[in-house]
Amino acid sequence: MIKIAVVGTGLIGMQHLRAMEHTDACQLCALCDVNEEKVKELATQYQVPYFTDYHDMPGQVEADAVILNLPHYLHCESTVFFLEHGMHVLVEKPMANTVEECERMIAAAEKSGKKLAVGHVQRYFRVNSWLKKAVEEERFGKLCMITGKRSINYFAESRPGWFLKKNAAGGGIGMNYGAHALDTLFYITGERKAEIISGYGNLKTDHDIEGHMQYMLKFPSGLSMCQTLSGYNESGHEVVYYFTDGVLKVEDAARLYQYVDSRWVQIAIEEDELIMERQMADFCRFLEGKPSMICDAQCGRDVIAALENVYKI
């Protein structure tokens, strides 16, 4: 049984806790959050010790691994800390705010001999696994172009304040949803390094993060991808894949369609609510040295390298 501690019990931390309840290979052994009231209540519920400072955990907790669900600016420091104290790490996406930070995290994993993975959970959506296989098998011919559009109210009052500050979050909608889109692209296509052009800004709020972004990647293979992200209004999430022998569309990362005889025809794929559970089970396989499709540290780093280029240009 793999013993796992969870640090950060906000929105995604709670989802990891629920996923662990359904994963036979692991068990929760400790919790940490600066919000003592919340973490104390959770610790009572799960009957595990709790901490309000993760630096106090090594020596007091016998964990094989830790899941880090913290504001982005803490990803590098906390990951290096736990690796240096002999624990494997699953750090939430994006891996860190800069490539330099990602490389420090990779170096710490190599030095400690412990494993490091990044919680890019969207690769566990069934549509994305289905698409990866279709691309590999050239089921619709060769993949030539992809267009992605995601438009939401990024500045909703429910969003934790740190997400809206550049020094804490590293960026805005690009750092957050752009990172998801890039990992999904890398996962489905196997491509990594691209020429990039981009535009971004914030024309609506006073926050120092971007509220809209558009980038285009062109890979050496000729494949290109254009991604549009708007944080000002809600109008959905759609990705269209143009193959030589067909066009496919994914809506809301759940429903898949093919364009046939002048209309979109749905391809039945049974999506479920178990995306986090699939990632958790796969993280355990990764720790056991078994084949795993989890986002490894190198891919997490390549997502940040692409984003650094998006922000630079």
Ligand X SMILES: NC(=O)c1ccc[n+]([C@@H]2O[C@H](COP(=O)([O-])OP(=O)(O)OC[C@H]3O[C@@H](n4cnc5c(N)ncnc54)[C@H](O)[C@@H]3O)[C@@H](O)[C@H]2O)c1
**Residues near ligand X (CB under 6 A):** 7-13, 32-35, 54, 69-72, 74, 92-93, 119, 121, 160, 176
Q: How far is CA 100 from CA 75, 96, 265, 272, in A?
A: 12, 9, 45, 37
Q: How many CB atoms lie within 10 A of CB 146?
A: 22
Which residue's C-beta sits nearest to ligand X?
10
Render the burial of 24-37: b for 16+ CB within 10 Å, e for the rest. Answer: ebbebbbbbbeeee
Q: Which is nearer to ligand X, 134 or 305 (CB)?
A: 305
Spatial separation of the C-alpha atoms in residues 303 and 68, rounded to whole Å: 18
Q: Which is nearer to ligand X, 50 or 243 (CB)?
A: 50
Least distance from ligand X to the Cβ atom of residue 254, Å: 14
Q: Which is nearer to ligand X, 70 or 164 (CB)?
A: 70
Using alpha carbons, select from 263, 141, 125 the residue that is nearest to residue 181. 125
Q: Which is nearer to ligand X, 253 or 256 (CB)?
A: 253
Q: What is the 3-state secondary structure (H, E, C) of 274-304?
A: CHHHHHHHHHHHHHCCCCCCCEEHHHHHHHH
Enter the tokens of residue 188: 């489905």
Q: Which is nearer to ligand X, 223 or 280 (CB)?
A: 280
Least distance from ligand X to the Cβ atom of residue 224, Å: 26
Spatial separation of the C-alpha atoms in residues 155 and 214, rounded to whole Å: 18
Least distance from ligand X to the Cβ atom of residue 243, Å: 27
Least distance from ligand X to the Cβ atom of residue 171, Å: 11
Least distance from ligand X to the Cβ atom of residue 98, Å: 14
**Pair type for strands 246-251 and 236-243:** antiparallel
Q: Which is nearer to ligand X, 256 or 295 (CB)?
A: 295
Least distance from ligand X to the Cβ atom of residue 59, Å: 17
- Please name the amino acid found at residue 215: Y
Least distance from ligand X to the Cβ atom of residue 114, Å: 20
Q: Which is nearer to ligand X, 183 or 302 (CB)?
A: 183
Q: How many CB atoms lie within 10 A of CB 263?
A: 8
